[in-house]
Amino acid sequence: MNATNTAGPVRKRIVELDALRGFALLGIALANFPEFSLWTFMDGTSRAALPHSGADRVVRFLQYLLVDGKFYTIFSILFGIGFSIIISNARKRGADGMKIFYRRMLVLALIGLLHLKFLWNGDILLLYALVGMLLPLFDRCPPKKLLCWSAFFLLLPIVVSAVRTVTGIDASVHVYDAWWKKAAAMGISKENFATWLKDAGSYPEMYRFLRQGAVERMWEFVSGMRYFKVLGLFLFGSWLGRERVHERLSSLRPLLKKIGGACLIAGLPLSFLYAWMSMRGGNPVAEEAVYAFSVYPLAVAYICGLMLLIAGKGPDSAARRVSSALSHPGKMALSSYLFQSVIGVSLFYGIGLGQGTSVTLWQTELVALGAFLLEVLLCGLWLRWFSFGPVEWIWRMLTYGRVLPLKKE
Q: Could you tell me the mean pLDDT of each successive run of 10 residues in the chain, 409 residues long?
A: 46 82 98 98 96 95 98 97 86 80 96 98 98 95 96 98 95 96 96 96 97 97 97 98 90 95 97 96 93 98 94 75 94 98 98 97 98 98 96 95 91
pLDDT value for 5: 42
pLDDT value for 89: 80
**Residue 170 · residue 164 · CB < 8 Å:** yes
pLDDT value for 1: 56
What's the Cα-to-Cα distance from 118 to each of 58, 138, 349, rounded to whole Å? 34, 33, 13
- Residue 383 has a CB neighbour count (10 Å cut-off) of 17
pLDDT value for 267: 97
pTM: 0.94
Beta bridge partners of 150: none
- Residue 270 has a CB neighbour count (10 Å cut-off) of 18
Condensed to tens digits (0 to 9), the pLDDT of residues 281-298 reads 889 999 999 999 999 999
DSSP of 3-54, one letter per residue?
A: SSTTSSS-----HHHHHHHHHHHHHHHHHHHHHHTTTTTS-HHHHHTSTT-T
pLDDT value for 91: 78
pLDDT value for 15: 87
Tell me 407's DSSP state.
B
Condensed to tens digits (0 to 9), the pLDDT of residues 325-351 reads 999 999 999 999 999 999 999 999 999
DSSP of 287-345, one letter per residue?
A: HHHHHHHHHHHHHHHHHHHHHHHHTT--TTSHHHHHHHHHHHHHHTHHHHHHHHHHHHH
Condensed to tens digits (0 to 9), the pLDDT of residues 271-280 reads 999 999 999 9
pLDDT value for 314: 67
Rounded (5°) CA angle 337-86-328: 35
pLDDT value for 112: 98
